[in-house]
Amino acid sequence: MLDPNNIPPVADDELLARFIVNSNEKRDDGSVRPNLFLPYKLTALSVTRHRETTDQEIWNIGRQVAAQRVKTLYGRADIRASSCRIEPLDVVESWQVENPNHADIVGYPPRKDEQLSLAEKLAAAIEGSWIGTPSDQDGSGVTT
Amino acid sequence: MANATLGGFSDAAKYLNAEAQRLRTEQQEAVTFSRQPCFDELWEAWQPCKEANWDGEGADPIEHETYQNAYRLIEALPSGLPSPTIAAEPDGHLSFEWYKHPRRLLSVSISPDGTLYWAALVGSEDPRGSCHFFDEFPKTLLYWIARVCIEC
Kindly report the pTM of this predicted structure: 0.85
Average pLDDT over residues B63-88: 95
CA B103/CA A119 separation, integer angstroms: 12
Q: Which residue of B has its CA nearest to A126?
A: B102
Within 8 A of B120 by CB-CB distance, chain A residues are 120
- Inter-chain touch B59–A40, beta carbons under 8 Å: yes
Whether residues A71 and B87 touch (CB distance < 8 A) is answered with: no
One-letter identity of residue B132: H
Digit-coded pLDDT (tens) for B93-141: 999 999 999 999 999 999 999 999 999 999 999 999 999 998 899 999 9
A62, containing H or E segment: helix A55-68
pLDDT at residue B26, as a whole number: 65
The one-letter code for the residue type at A98 is: E
| Residues contacting B21, CB < 8 A, separation 6+ | none
Q: How many Å separate Cα B41 from the centre of its chain?
A: 12
Distance between CA atoms of A91 and A47, rounded to whole angstroms? 9
Chain B neighbors of A128, CB-CB under 8 A: none
CB B39 within 8 A of CB B71: yes
Q: How far apart are CA B95 and CA A120, in angstroms?
A: 13
Q: How many CA atoms lie within 13 A of A129 on its CB side?
A: 12
For A24-79, the pLDDT digits (tens) are: 999 999 999 999 999 877 678 999 999 999 999 999 999 999 999 899 999 999 99
Flag if B56 and A21 touch (Cβ within 8 Å). Answer: yes
CB distance B85 to B149 below 8 Å: no
Q: How confident is the model at residue B63 (pLDDT cuts 50, 70, 90)?
A: very high
The CA–CA distances, whole Å, from A69 to A22, A36, B11, B55 equal: 11, 15, 68, 7
CA–CA separation, A18 and B148 (whole Å) = 27
ipTM of the prediction:
0.88
